[in-house]
Amino acid sequence: MDKILLIASANKNKLKEIYNILKNIPFKKRSLDEIKFRGHIEETGRTFRENALLKAETVGRKTGLLTLAEDSGLEIDYLTGRPGIRSARYSPGTDRDRLNKVLEELNGVPEEKRSARFVCVAALFDPQKKRTYFFAGESRGYITEKPQGKRGFGYDPIFYNLDLKKTNAQATFREKNRVSHRARALFKVKEFLGDGN
């Protein structure tokens, strides 16, 4: 019987990245939609780790499946770590509204004070062992003065990635998935679960 890894996310952009990064693991990957999981999980944690744990354990306990969840966000030094765990809820509306709010808050701030990092914490809950494993990753950069690039999602157009030497939104899907915060956390998950190659 095929082993199943349930990905506890409803975000289609995140799912696409996660499926791509974990493509060779010896597990069948399933999304919440695919297993018809219904139920909203309130992200009440105060850290990325707490939110990832909450999602992985809630879903894993209800389904009995090995469950992977992640929480991630953008931390800007000048804004004392904001938007942080509230990255997806920083402003009502669209990704563009949230991105514009950040740009407004950094209006007139020089480049050397616009340092930022994307952080990801992945939690893997094993219902058989009743144990959760954690994997973290981050990518460093700074916030640009205006959006650049058409790819990616969220804050990608304003995050200049120091590894890529361009914004995440100017990078190809493949380039971003080599060095992003999510990739760095998920490469550790991949190593833990075993690579199918």
Q: What is the pLDDT of residues 133-188, one digit of tens each?
A: 999 999 999 999 999 999 999 999 999 999 999 999 999 999 999 999 999 999 99
DSSP string, 26-81: SSEEEETTTTT---------SSHHHHHHHHHHHHHHHH-SEEEEEEEEEEEGGGTT
16, two tokens: 């696409």
Average pLDDT over residues 88-108: 96
- Specify whether domain 4-193 bears CATH 3.40.50.620: no
- Residue 116: phi, psi to the nearest 5? -155, 165
Q: Say what the pTM is.
A: 0.93
Nearest to 103 by CA among 80, 79, 119, 120: 79
Sequence spans of domains, the chain: 4-193
Do 76 and 101 contact (CB within 8 A), yes or no? no
Angle at 7 between CA 58 and CA 186, to 5 degrees: 115
User: 94 CB contacts (<8 Å, ≥6 apart)?
Assistant: none
What sections of 115-193 are H helices per DSSP? Answer: 173-179, 181-193
Q: Is the model more confident about 170 or about 24?
A: 170
Q: Confidence band (pLDDT; 50, 70, 90) for 195?
A: low
Given this model, what pLDDT does residue 44 score?
A: 86
User: 187 CB contacts (<8 Å, ≥6 apart)?
Assistant: 21, 137
Nearest to 63 by CA among 133, 127, 122: 127
Given this model, what pLDDT does residue 1 score?
A: 46
Bond from prior residue into 110 cis (ω within 30 degrees of 0): no
Mean pLDDT of all residues belonging to the chain: 94
Given this model, what pLDDT does residue 196 score?
A: 55
Q: How many residues does the chain have?
A: 197
Catalytic residues: 71
**pLDDT over 90 at 125, yes or no:** yes
Nearest to 125 by CA among 70, 182, 68: 68
**pLDDT over 50 at 107, yes or no:** yes
